[in-house]
């Protein structure tokens, strides 16, 4: 009878391949048990992966849209909070200024002027708010402040007033400086984008337009009213009556500006509602796709645990056999 033996090299190669196969299967099962997801989806789905790929792609797409819309929602929420702050500052300054008359003590008038300057600076700084390095009220020019430094704005306005000391004349100059499309405010104070408003696509059917910018007439009215009052402190040579008149008129205008700010916030509120509506729909779609994907890709933990235990037994047996074979000698083999 002819005996066929396997050489040591071939035997070592066979054992190495067997060891690698068992380790690979073991690692695959451990990964599946940890992630809860089948690793070899093509095998599990019988080679038909087109539907799974479509669902997986759809899920990634909807998650991307939800993420972008969440960023837009944060932007709008921050804008609302900023305008709340601006409105509080407006209301506080208006309350203080409308108490001032020509009969008020000089100290009160001087304090009112300084307060107007300080509050104007606070208003400008608020409108230069940014989120994640993006300016909120500069339109599409998100990489730069919406407004110039408040001290620069007031200095340019004082230069426009020049040597004028008459109340009516100062009021007219301030109005023109802020309202003229090619005037001082638009050329030296507002640094943001002046083109079309910012748009954001929420889904295939919904695009929102964010119009709130620091150059909006509604927001500009608040700035103009505070700046008019600030002229009482900054324009040299004014008498007590003119100073009191500028402070009081600024306070009255600030009262009126409340309606304009509410209108801006109402429009932002509508956009927030649109995002919430779209988000509800997209979240439902995400849930449906996730369920469908899980049904195709999720692993049975009990089945995987059983297979893992079987592989462990095979691997232990393989190591034991390898150890025994390695102890064989020629004398033992010839016995």
What is the pLDDT at residue 285?
A: 84
Rounded to whole angstroms, how far apart are CA atoms 314 and 320? 10
What is the pLDDT at residue 286?
A: 82
Q: Which residues contact 53 (CB under 8 A, 6 or more apart)?
A: none
Domain presence at residue 77: yes
What is the pLDDT at residue 245?
A: 97
SS3 annotation, 35-80: HCECCCHHHHCCCCCHHHHHHHHHHHHHHHHHHHHHHHHHHHHHHH
Between the ranges 9-18, 38-47, 313-322, where is the mean pLDDT highest?
313-322
Domain presence at residue 266: yes
pLDDT bracket for residue 50 (50, 70, 90): confident
Token pair belonging to 320: 């034991």
Rounded to whole angstroms, how far apart are CA atoms 40 and 181? 65
Domain presence at residue 73: yes
How do residues 209-255 score in pLDDT, each as one tens digit? 999 999 999 999 999 999 999 999 999 999 999 999 999 999 999 99
| Phi, psi of 147, rounded to the nearest 5 degrees | -130, 150
Average pLDDT, the chain: 83
Rounded to whole angstroms, how far apart are CA atoms 118 and 9? 89
SS3 annotation, 70-104: HHHHHHHHHHHHHHHHHHHHHHHHHHHHCCCCCCC
pLDDT bracket for residue 100 (50, 70, 90): very high
Domain presence at residue 113: yes
What is the pLDDT at residue 330?
A: 47
| Phi, psi of 69, rounded to the nearest 5 degrees | -70, -30
Query: How many domains, the chain?
Result: 1
For the chain, what's the residue count? 335
Domain presence at residue 21: no
What is the pTM (predicted TM-score) of this model? 0.74
| Phi, psi of 298, rounded to the nearest 5 degrees | -70, 145
Q: Judge whether 214 and 130 are in contact, CB under 8 Å.
A: no
Query: Between 310 and 71, where is the model more confident?
Result: 71
How do residues 256-283 score in pLDDT, each as one tens digit? 999 999 999 999 999 999 999 998 888 8
Domain presence at residue 265: yes
Domain presence at residue 47: no
| Full domain range(s) for residue 271 | 55-289
Domain presence at residue 308: no
Mean pLDDT across 286-300: 68
Token pair belonging to 319: 């190591």
CATH number at residue 176: 1.20.1330.10
């Amino acid at each position: 009878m002819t005996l066929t033996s396997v050489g040591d090299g071939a035997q070592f190669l066979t054992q190495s391949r067997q060891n690698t196969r068992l380790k690979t299967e073991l690692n695959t099962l451990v990964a599946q048990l940890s992630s809860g997801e089948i690793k070899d989806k093509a095998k599990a789905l019988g080679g038909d992966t087109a539907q799974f790929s479509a669902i997986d792609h759809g899920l990634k797409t909807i998650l991307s849209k939800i993420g972008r819309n969440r960023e837009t929602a944060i932007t709008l929420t921050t804008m609302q909070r900023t305008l709340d702050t601006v409105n509080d500052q407006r209301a506080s300054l208006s309350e203080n200024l409308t108490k001032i008359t020509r009969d008020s003590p000089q100290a009160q008038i001087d304090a009112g002027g300084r307060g107007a300057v300080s509050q104007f600076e606070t208003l400008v700084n608020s409108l230069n708010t940014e989120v994640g390095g993006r300016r909120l009220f500069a339109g599409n020019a998100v990489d730069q402040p919406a407004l110039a430094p408040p001290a620069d704005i007031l200095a340019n306005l004082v230069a426009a007033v020049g040597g004028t000391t008459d109340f009516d004349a100062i009021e007219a100059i301030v109005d023109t400086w802020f309202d003229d499309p090619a005037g001082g405010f638009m050329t030296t104070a507002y640094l943001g984008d002046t083109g079309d408003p910012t748009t954001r696509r929420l889904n295939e059917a919904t695009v929102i337009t964010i119009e709130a910018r620091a150059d909006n007439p509604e927001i500009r009215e608040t700035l103009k009213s505070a700046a008019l009052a600030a002229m009482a402190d900054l324009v040299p040579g004014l008498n007590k009556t003119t100073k009191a008149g500028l402070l009081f008129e600024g306070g009255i205008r600030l009262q009126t500006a409340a309606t304009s700010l509410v209108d801006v916030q109402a429009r932002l509120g509508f956009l927030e509602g649109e995002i919430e509506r779209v988000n509800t729909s997209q979240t439902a779609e995400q849930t449906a796709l996730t369920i469908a994907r899980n049904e195709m890709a999720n692993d049975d933990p009990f089945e995987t645990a059983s297979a893992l235990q079987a592989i462990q037994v095979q691997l232990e047996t393989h190591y034991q056999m390898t150890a025994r074979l390695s102890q064989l000698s020629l004398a033992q083999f010839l016995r």
